[in-house]
């Protein structure tokens, strides 16, 4: 039973446009959500997070939206840049647990 | 470089051999995690330490796997009697709190 799902294995967008990456989860007890970015031959790097008490968190070009009723979150990147091309992992956790449950990732390609 | 360091970066071993990986976390981080990642999937949680105490182990962690974190500093992950199914990227991460984690570059294990 996969508790965190990223249904789009890949996404391709033009430089300057918006990238929207989606993530669904099944366990309503998750209360903290994170996005990580991973380049080849490197470990995942933390990008942005959101607590379940919020529905939006913004950091520069990156915004995460959380819809608790739909058990859905999304990451918006505006404007997209070629350097954003990477694998993006959605992760969910319980605030007091620390460990995260990851989705299988979405490979984003931003074309110049 | 004060990031999470993992050694070795690559390990090729014959089936049935034992292997040990080392992780040096960011020095002020008291939480340390081990994850395993296979191709096309997200990281899967294996085990978690807070200081020297191993607080949680995944059901994925068979009795051939053991992890230690003596004195709450570096950690080792040992796999005994390796099997081909153990081939994966083994990721270590550390964190000062129960929120985002900082990952190392991983150790890629190939069992032949």
pLDDT one-digit tens code per residue, B85-105: 999 999 999 998 878 999 999
Interface contact B103-A45, CB threshold 8 A? yes
Residue in the structure block whose two tokens are 């379940």: A52
**Which residues of chain A are under the pLDDT cut of 70?**
none
Interface contact A4-B42, CB threshold 8 A? yes
What integer pLDDT is reported at residue B1 of this predicted model? 55
Residue in the structure block whose two tokens are 């059901």: B59
Euclidean distance between CA atoms A45 and A35, whole angstroms: 9
Best of A9, A52, A99 to mutate (most B CBs within 10 Å, chain B): A99
How close is the nearest chain A Cα to the Cα of B45, in Å?
7
**What is chain A's alpha carbon radius of gyration, rounded to the nearest angstrom?**
13
How close is the nearest chain A Cα to the Cα of B106, in Å?
6
């Amino acid at each position: 039973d996969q508790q965190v799902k990223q249904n789009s294995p890949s996404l391709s967008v033009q430089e300057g446009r918006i990238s929207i990456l989606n993530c669904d989860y099944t366990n309503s007890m998750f209360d903290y959500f994170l996005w990580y970015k991973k380049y080849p031959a490197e470990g995942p790097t933390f990008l942005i997070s959101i607590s379940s008490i919020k529905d939006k968190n913004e950091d520069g070009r990156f915004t995460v939206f959380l819809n608790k009723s739909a058990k859905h979150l999304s990451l918006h990147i505006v404007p997209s840049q070629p350097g954003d091309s990477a694998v993006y992992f959605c992760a969910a956790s319980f605030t007091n647990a620390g460990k995260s449950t990851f989705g299988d990732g979405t490979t984003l390609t931003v074309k110049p | 470089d004060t990031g999470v360091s993992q050694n070795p970066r690559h390990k090729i071993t014959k089936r049935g051999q034992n292997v040990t990986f080392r992780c040096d976390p960011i020095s002020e981080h008291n939480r340390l995690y081990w994850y395993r990642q296979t191709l096309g999937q997200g990281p899967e949680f294996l085990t978690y330490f807070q200081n020297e105490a191993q607080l949680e182990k995944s059901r994925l962690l068979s009795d051939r796997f053991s992890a230690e974190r003596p004195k709450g500093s570096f950690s080792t992950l040992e796999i005994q009697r390796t099997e081909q199914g153990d081939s994966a990227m083994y990721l270590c991460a550390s964190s000062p709190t129960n929120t985002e984690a900082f990952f190392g570059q991983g150790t890629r294990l190939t069992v032949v």
